[in-house]
Amino acid sequence: MTLASQILQYILSGINIGSIYGLVAIGFNIIYNTTGIINLAQGEFVMLGGMIMVSLHVGAHIPMLPAFFLTVILVAAVGGLFERLAIHPLKNPTVLILIIITVAGSILMKGIAMFIWGKETFQLPHFSGEEPILFFGASLLPQTLWILGITAGIVLLLGLFFRYTLTGKAMRACAANRTAAQLVGIDVRKMVFLSFALSAAIGAAAGIVITPIALMDYDRGAMLALKGFGAAVLGGLGNSGGAVVAGFMIGILECLGAGFISSGYKDAIALFVLLIVLFVRPSGIFGSAETARLKDF
């Protein structure tokens, strides 16, 4: 393999996992935009998506398409349940309490997952076969096309949802000014609930599409959440277009690093990026430095 096609191969792998980081980042953004909360349990939704899909499709032999939607709905329900049980009852929580509650939620979900599925790693069959397509000297898996397609579809649908539907606009209103939203009759509590459910759904979709390539086990959530958060911050917290681009950047950087430097330190690469962004420019590439400073954390 020539150097160029090797690089291309790494870039393609990077795009795979980068899409997932981007989708996790979008999940962070949705909840953050509506509620101002950073949901540290975001990664667990991805994990649950993969695991439940495995149980439904591989275990219960439900065909792929219905299993996909069923999984997404189930995980969305988990997200909503989490909001109702752990977030909703809090009265005027401080940032510290919110952080601890979402961390607690994530380890609860992880614990339950371990209880149900054990510690093994699971895989899903590729959506349309494993025959790689030759692409400029690198091999492109059909699954990659699925990942890109579904990611693009989600971003598009979300864009339409937030711009043109009443609920979507209501959620944006909550982000902009919660009190004003309440005053014009928006049920803010319902919007908060919806944002968690929606984020969970997107996370689930991400988990389902990546499991054929990257496999899935109960412990994946934390690292995905961290890296997804890195993508969210890099792209500008709240900016979903930026989140996807940042996700790609981190994924590609990670794969290039793993390929050329060392694979033992692969995970550390994305984390270094997160730290550097937080230290140097917390508003991210596409965020505004001014508004970032005004954000109340």
Partner 1 sequence: MGRWNRVSLVVLAGVAGAMPFLLGTDSYYISVLVMAGIRSIVAIGLSLLMGYAGQISLGHGALFGLGAYSSGLLTTLHPQSGWLAGILPLSPWTALVVAAVMTAAIAYAIGTPCLRLRGHYLAMATLAFGEIVVIFFVAMVDLTGGPSGFGGIPDLPYVGSFPAWLIDPEGGYNLFVYRDTHYYFLVWIVVILTLIFSLNLIHSRVGRALRSIHGSELAASTMGVNTAKYKVQVFVLSAIFASVAGSLYAHFVTFVSPTACELKYSILLLTMVAVGGMANVWGAVLGAVLLTLLPEYLRAFEDYDVLVYGGILIGILMFMPQGLLVGCIQLIGKIKPVRKTTG
Angle at CA of residue 269, ends 25 and 297, nearest 5°: 45
Report d(CA 71, CA 48) in Å as an integer. Answer: 9
DSSP per-residue string spanning 89-111: T-SS--HHHHHHHHHHHHHHHHH
Angle at CA of residue 215, ends 149 and 69, nearest 5°: 50
Angle at CA of residue 157, ends 163 and 166, nearest 5°: 35
| Nearest distance from C-beta of residue 115 to partner 1, angstroms | 6
Q: Indicate whether 275 belongs to the interface with partner 1 (CB under 8 A).
A: yes
Q: Indicate whether 297 belongs to the interface with partner 1 (CB under 8 A).
A: yes
Binding residue (CB under 8 A) for partner 1 from 61, 131, 185, 264: 264
Q: Indicate whether 223 belongs to the interface with partner 1 (CB under 8 A).
A: yes
132 or 259: CB nearest partner 1: 259
| Nearest distance from C-beta of residue 113 to partner 1, angstroms | 10
- Looking at residues 96 to 135 of the shown chain, list those that interact with partner 1 (rule: CB under 8 A): 96-97, 99-101, 103-108, 110-112, 114-115, 119
Q: Give every CB contact of residue 26 below 8 A, 6+ residues apart in sequence.
A: 154, 155, 158, 199, 202, 232, 240, 243, 244
Report d(CA 280, CA 150) in Å as an integer. Answer: 33
| Nearest distance from C-beta of residue 31 to partner 1, angstroms | 11
| Nearest distance from C-beta of residue 52 to partner 1, angstroms | 18
Q: Indicate whether 229 belongs to the interface with partner 1 (CB under 8 A).
A: yes
The CA R_g of the chain, rounded to the nearest whole Å, is: 19
Angle at CA of residue 90, ends 88 and 96, nearest 5°: 120
Evaluate whether 94 touches 296 at the Cβ level (below 8 Å). Answer: no
Q: Return the range that interacts with partner 1 (CB under 8 A); candidates 54-62, 148-156, 246-254, 258-266.
A: 258-266
Evaluate whether 171 touches 191 at the Cβ level (below 8 Å). Answer: yes
Binding residue (CB under 8 A) for partner 1 from 3, 63, 89, 290: 89
Site string for partner 1, 26-65 (x = CB under 8 A): ------------x-x-------------------------
Number of residues that bind partner 1 (CB under 8 A): 42
Binding residues for partner 1 (CB under 8 A): 38, 40, 86, 89-90, 95-97, 99-101, 103-108, 110-112, 114-115, 119, 222-223, 226, 229-230, 233, 262, 264-265, 267-268, 271-272, 274-275, 278-279, 282, 297
